[in-house]
Amino acid sequence: MLLDALLSFELLRNTFYTGLLVGFIAPLLGTFIVVRRLSLIADGLSHVTLAGIAFGLFMQKKYTLLFLTPFHTGIIFSIIGAIVIENLRSVYKAFQEIAIPITLSLGVGLSVVFIALADGINTDIFAYLFGSVAAVSRSDLYLILVTTGLVLLLIIFLYKELFALSFDEEFATVSGMRAKVIHYLFIIMTALVISASIRIVGVLLVSALMTLPVATAIRVAKSFKQTIIYSIIYGEVAVIVGLVSGYYLEIPPGGTIVITSAILLGLTLLVKKWYLAYIYKG
Amino acid sequence: MSNTLINVNDVTHRYDRHTVLENISFSVEEGAFVGLVGPNGSGKTTIIKLMLGLEKLQKGSIETFGKPIHKFTNKGHISFVSQKANSFNRGFPATAKEVVGMGLTSKLSLLRPTTKKLEHHIYEALDQVNMSEYANTNIGDLSGGQQQRIFIARSIVNKPRLLILDEPTVGVDTENVEQFYQLLSKLNDELGITLILVSHDIGSITTHVTDLLCLNKSIHYHGNPSDFENMTDEQRSKLYGHDMHTITHNH
């Protein structure tokens, strides 16, 4: 039974706690990412994070670093990647989206190099790519808890600013908001949430956890606040269903979580269509 | 006693080698409703951006509320409705109420007032633009004219002393334009908000504004709109610069 396993295996328990945390924080931040049309940034940053993880694995293997785990180097790379993206976006003002392929390909390139240097694909890398139900150590969990708390505080504190900047940057700037500082804080938060989510959903699917629940919520919500609340509900449902089914089916949870999200999206679209048809008819 | 809110002194501005503004000087007194008109490419948007601090001053000086522009921090004194208000993302999941609430942000700091008190300000602003009944409607579901009213509400919710509008009637259908100008006159008369309205259409704004400022790289006319109306077309085109197509006013 899953419950027995949860009670007796700490790693599994940590994974579930982490799942609940990222199921909350990823769609929350994702709402801002989607309305700012930055959905692809999550992909760019996750691949930079992979480079960091590969670097960590390489260092661990060759130089037995004790205090820096691949998880830590992933976070560091992700934050550096975030700053690079934001800088590139201000350099290429006319085509800001070019910042994403630049960082994404650099991330993949570095990952390939470090993975090769660390003697190729092994189970560790596999867990980072697709997620794992038993990858979260107690110290990782603490770090993810701190990250979640930090991001949550920042969003509560900067809610109005983030909302206004997402809707109309010029108006927000004229009103005296410090757009640049807030952009940097926002993208660094994104980097932190991505690093935290990778343990559960993996590098390749982390952006899905930030965007699919939001894509679903946007179809049914009437206001911005509702969009956030529904996104979090859809995110949590996907994480719980995905982790439980992943455990039983012995499939990396990244796959099951994303498929659950996609099913929720499909169902929501269908129900909405039927509902609208019913309203127009009746 | 009249109070100078904006003082622009000998401003010249270039983009690369192209001069867009040349030796511009004018001032805006508290309580005025200034119409800033000029053809496309006459530097209207540039001077607005300079006044708002969105563009860096190259030559000359601008004082806002008695302070040099680079020392002025906007704490809700100046608000802005841009021409781009019409090109926002229409799918953005926000209600009219939420959009108006964005205008309150500069008042909010660490100690934010309770939501109840905020709601009161938001409804007051919606009421002023006659949009209370649409408070919970999604912004994307409103018509162009209604959206622009919501953007006006957003810019007055913080009770600014000066409101700058850059071509706010772009995207508003013609029947609603006159109504829109009446709303602006009301804000000016009843709430005492000083207005600077940028437009390329001299015709329809002259009846509403108290001061008319014609800009085409340099200032060609600054004064009473009725004096401007009494001029002959020839005098006007002289003032306006010969490359300007004058829109005549039929009333």
Across the beta sheet with B218-223, what order do the strands follow? B78-81, B162-166, B194-199, B33-37, B211-216, B218-223
CA B23 → CA A30, B4, B215, distances in Å? 48, 20, 11
Interface test with A, best of B51, B105, B150 (most A CBs within 10 A): B105
Q: Note the pLDDT of residue A69.
A: 83
pLDDT at B161 over 70: yes
Name every chain A residue with its beta carbon within 8 A of the beta carbon of B104. 160
Position B11 in a domain: yes
Res. B174 pLDDT band, cuts 50 70 90: confident
Output the CA angle A35-A36-A39, nearest 5 degrees.
Answer: 85
Q: Note the pLDDT of residue B244.
A: 44
Question: Is the Cβ pair A167, B94 closer than 8 Å?
Answer: yes
Question: Is the Cβ pair A224, B93 closer than 8 Å?
Answer: yes
- Average confidence (pLDDT) over A57-66: 78
Write out pLDDT tens, residues A210-235.
999 999 999 999 899 999 999 999 99
Interface test with B, best of A38, A168, A220 (most B CBs within 10 A): A168
Domain spans of chain A? 2-281
DSSP state of B248: P
Res. B136 pLDDT band, cuts 50 70 90: very high
Residue with tokens 């295996």: A9
- What's the total number of domains in chain B? 1
Q: Note the pLDDT of residue A176.
A: 78
A131-159: b (≥16 Cβ within 10 Å) or e? bbbbbbeeebbebbeebbeebbebbeebb
Pairing of strands B4-15, B18-29: antiparallel
Phi, psi of A118 (to 5 degrees): -90, 20
- Å between B79 CA and nearest CA of chain A: 7
Q: Note the pLDDT of residue B247.
A: 43
Give the residue, A268 or A138, on which the prediction is more confident.
Answer: A268
Position B174 in a domain: no
Interface check A172 vs B, CB under 8 A: yes
Point out the least confidently predicted range of A46-60, B26-40, B95-109.
B95-109
pLDDT at A146 over 50: yes
Closest CB from A168, A171, A223 relative to B93: A223
CA B17 → CA A175, A208, B13, B60, B118, distances in Å? 31, 47, 10, 17, 48
Position B94 in a domain: no
Residue B17 sits in which domain range? Answer: 1-77+162-168+192-251
Res. B248 pLDDT band, cuts 50 70 90: very low
CATH number of the domain to which B224 belongs:
3.40.50.300
Q: Note the pLDDT of residue A231.
A: 97
Amino acid found at B122: I
Give the residue, B221 or A246, on which the prediction is more confident.
Answer: A246
Interface check B109 vs A, CB under 8 A: no
Q: Which fold has domain A2-281?
A: ABC transporter involved in vitamin B12 uptake, BtuC (1.10.3470)
Q: Note the pLDDT of residue B56.
A: 86
| Partner B, chain A 35-74, Cβ-Cβ below 8 Å | 35, 37
| Partner B, chain A 119-148, Cβ-Cβ below 8 Å | none
Question: Is the Cβ pair A163, B102 closer than 8 Å?
Answer: yes
Task: Give the rounded percent of residues in chain B with a pLDDT score beyond 70.
Answer: 82
Task: Give the rounded percent of residues in chain A with a pLDDT score beyond 70.
Answer: 97
> Helix or strand or coil: residue A128?
helix
Position B42 in a domain: yes
Question: Is the Cβ pair A175, B52 closer than 8 Å?
Answer: no
